[in-house]
Amino acid sequence: MAADEPEDETRILPPDMSLYNKIGKPDMNKVFAPEIVQAAQQVIVEAATTLMDETKEALNKIKQAQAESEKDPQKTAALLPVFIEQGFFIKARTGLSNYNLVAEMAKSLQIYCEAINKENITTKDRDIIKWHVQSIDMLLTKDIKGDGGPLGATIMDEIRRLGSIAKG
């Protein structure tokens, strides 16, 4: 190290207890009593209706984009942001509403579309996008919550397999 070069000084400041002190050093088991935490969880459960309405709107957007892509494959690259954004949107909402399999599917759609080579979108790429959209639609129509059990695992395995084939 050159003489005039400052040495990298790492400082480690002690844990800051000011937040704990600020609220009067309470018994945290009382502050966050089980009934309080449960009441807060109820807020999440009750929000599910709104979240699902918004999810359906997002689903319509990706269904429309998918139909456009099928009609004119040249448009697919320009439509990728719709799949990515709405996929993320659906993932966030369905995940909060206990539609975990839909959330997984939407995440898979988002990741797949982010990884696509925009200069060379193949028929297989478009098929996989279509598969995702149809699966999300089917799962929501049939109101399949949670991870979908063995059927859900099979669907996800198939989606992942198709994804890895397409990526080569």
Q: Closest separation between CB of residue 111 and another protein, Å?
A: 8
Our CB check for another protein shows the closer of 127 and 157 to be 157
Note whether 3 binds another protein by CB under 8 A.
no
Q: Which of 2, 5, 11, 150 binds another protein (CB under 8 A)?
A: 11
Which x/- pattern, by CB under 8 A, does the window 23-62 give for another protein?
xxxxxx--xx---xxxxxxxxx--x--xx--x--------
- Which of 1, 2, 3, 19 touches another protein by CB under 8 A? 19
Q: Quick one: tokens of 36?
A: 């309080």
> Which residues lie closer than 8 Å to 14 by C-beta, 6 or more apart?
none
Give yes or no for a contact between 94 and 103, defined as CB atoms under 8 angstroms apart: yes
Q: Of 51 and 162, which has the nearer Cβ to another protein?
A: 51
Neighbours of 61 (CB within 10 A): 15
Taking each helix axis from N to C end, the angle separating 76-96 and 100-115, rounded to the nearest 10 degrees, works out to 150
Note whether 62 and 94 are within 8 A (CB). no
Q: Which is nearer to another protein, 24 or 168 (CB)?
A: 24
Measured from the Cβ of residue 113, the count of other Cβ atoms closer than 10 Å reads 24
Rounded to 5 degrees, φ, ψ at 89 are -60, -45
Which of 96, 156, 162, 166 is in the footprint of another protein by CB under 8 A? 96
Task: Render 38-65 in DSSP notation, one character per residue.
Answer: HHHHHHHHHTHHHHHHHHHHHHHHHHHH
Choose between 34 and 168: whose C-beta lies nearer to another protein.
34
The distance of closest approach from Cβ of residue 67 to another protein in the complex, given in angstroms and rounded to an integer, is 25
Does residue 107 touch another protein according to CB under 8 A? Answer: yes
What residues make contact with another protein under the rule CB under 8 A? 8-17, 19-20, 22-28, 31-32, 36-44, 47, 50-51, 54, 88-89, 91-93, 95-98, 100, 103, 107
